[in-house]
Structures are given as structure tokens and as C-alpha cells.
Amino acid sequence: MFKGLAIWLATVLGLASFGWTGEKDGRLDIYWVDVEGGAATLIVTPAGESVLIDAGNPGYRDPNRIVQVATKEAGLRRIDHLITTHYHRDHFGGAATLATLIPIGTVHDNGVFDGMPDDPGKSYWEFAAQARRVIHAGDKLSLRQRVESPPVSIHCLGTRKQFIKASPDTANCEACAAHRPKDRDGSDNANSVVTLLEFGPFRFYDGGDLTWNQEFRLVCPKNVVGRVDVYQVTHHGLDSSNNPVLLNALQPQVAIMNNGKTKGCMPGVFANLKATSSIQAIYQLHRNERPDGQMNNVDFPFIANRSKEVSGNHIHLSVAADGKSYTVSIPAHDQSRTYQTVDK
């Protein structure tokens, strides 16, 4: 009897510890799940609350990978918030299946709006979630705070081609004069939800698939984003996004690309990233082997999945409890590097 009770107690305590790793160590964690050219970025706050930005492709592969990282790596039992940046299948497609595998709290998306070019369909609108809300430029997620930690926030800077207004004391962006407009993008990419994560001095930018001309509007004439530490390479590294005006306005230190084996990593994007003087390191989820021969890759230590035959490895970023430094690692290869948060 006592042996059984001891085993039960150890199991319960183990699960409790497993479920609150973020709250236990005071760190903030970000995981880039390999959804092979889609998007799934999982954030775990110091209070143990979770925010998933996009849910990958339809089917079970991507939801299973998200659940694997969420439960085994991050110690979660639910996704508290799901942000769908826009209605393309590689961003929303896994949500309905994901909801059958792990509970989902509040879904934040663009809802139904005038002129929407894509409809995600019945399975997306009706999957099980605790609540749904339409997100607007200027909204902030209501997140639990850990008393001992710096404040953490996720701020919507723009969506549906509407962006937050600059404060009167915001200076004009010096990079704007270099802008060269591209043809209008009429797809739903231009409606992407843009988010800024802040944890003390640490700042992370995720623009979904926001397109070139909209990126210009976000920071010009005034840069409403400010400088960031980490930049999620927009649109998987496609050159209809990643305007150098945006890169020079944000001045990121680290760029992380959620590309696929043959998707993303366009030559122009690599050139723009490498020409951004603030960037110290670029990470890729996959070594890219484009069929057109335009292969652009960083060195192996910065790639999570290094061959066509390998998939499923994720990238992990962990911010120190004071927000003053962060470590980017590829657990599958025991690779890690620590960076200091930059002065803003």
C-alpha cells in the first residue's frame, strides 16, 4: 500500500514539475517547430503560459510535432493562446487537428472581414477552443505575470493592413529612402497579424507572411516597432517579403528562418539579411535544396535539419530570467550559442 502511494505521489509531483518548467526557472522560451515550410512558433512565458503563433499544415504530421515539442520539451498540457496570422494552409491548416490532440484556450485571428481573399473553411471555424476573438492592431494578449520576473507582453502591431499609430516623439525612420516598391500582393499574406513579444529588455518580432510594401508601411515614415533582438524571417525567406527597409529599421541581432527543404531561402533575402550589419547569426530549420539550383544556406551548426532525409528537429531559444541574454540552441545537434540583449 505504502509503496503504491509513494509511486503515485512521485508521479503526481513529477507531472506538476513537468507542467511548469517555465515558471520554475523564470525563463522565457521560444520553440520553432519544424512544419516543413509552414509556421509554428511556440512561446512559453515565465508564468508557464503558452502562445502558439500558427499551426502548420493540414494532416497529422505538423500537429503531432507541435504536441511533441509542447508536451515533451516545454512541459505543457494545453495551448493557452493560438494566434493565426492569416488564412493560408501552411499557417492555419493544422489547427483543427491540433485541437483534437491538446486543449486550446483562446484563438486570436482576423475573423471574417470585408474583401478577405481566402476562407479557411468550416473545420477551422468550428474546431474546439475555449474562446475566439478577432485581433486588432494595438491589442495586447492578457498574459499572467510572474511576480519575480520582468513583465512579458505580446502586442499586435498590425493586421488586415492596419498598423498601430506612432507616438508623437517617435523619430522618422532613416532607412525609408531606400525603399523600392514591388507589385501589389493581393493575397492574404498582406493581411498577416504582426506581433511583438517583449520580456524585460528582450524583444522578438514575428510578421507572419507580411509582404514587402506592407513592411514598408509598418516602419515608414515612423518606425513603430523599434529595435528587436530576434527577427523571425518573414514568409519563410521568400523575396516578396523581408524588405531591407524593415530589416534596417528593426536592426535584429539574430534571424531565424522557418523554411522548408525546397521552400524559402531566396537569394535576395539572403543578400538582404547578410547586408544587415546588426545581424550576428542566421538560423534555418532546414538546409534548403531548391530544384532551381538557387540554394542559399548558412553553415551546418546553424541548421536544424541538414539533409533531405532528416526532418522534425526544432530550434529552441531561451531568454534568461532577467531578459538580458538569450541562448539559441538546436537540441538534436547539441549546438548552442548565447547572445546579449542589445540596448534599444
CA distances to 13, 220, 238, 267, 318 from 38, in Å: 36, 28, 12, 19, 22
Contacts for 123-127 with beta carbons within 8 Å, 24 or more apart?
123/96, 124/87, 124/92, 124/95, 124/96, 127/95, 127/96, 127/99, 127/100
Query: With bands split at pLDDT 50, 70 and 90, how would you rate the model's confidence at 292?
Result: confident
Residue 179 falls in which region: left (phi positive, over 0), alpha (psi -120 to 50) or beta: beta
Cβ atoms of residues 51 and 154 within 8 Å: yes
Cβ atoms of residues 42 and 74 within 8 Å: yes
Q: What is the pLDDT of residues 67-82, one digit of tens each?
A: 999 999 999 999 999 9
Across 117-126, 133-142, 167-176, 203-212, least confident range: 167-176
pTM of the model: 0.92
Q: How high is the pLDDT of residue 320?
A: 98
Asked whether the predicted pLDDT for residue 285 surpasses 70, the reply is yes
Cβ atoms of residues 212 and 218 within 8 Å: no
From the CB of residue 320, how many other CB atoms can be counted at a distance below 10 Å?
Answer: 19
Rounded Cα gap, residues 30 and 171, in angstroms: 31
pLDDT mean over 243-265: 96
Cβ atoms of residues 328 and 281 within 8 Å: yes
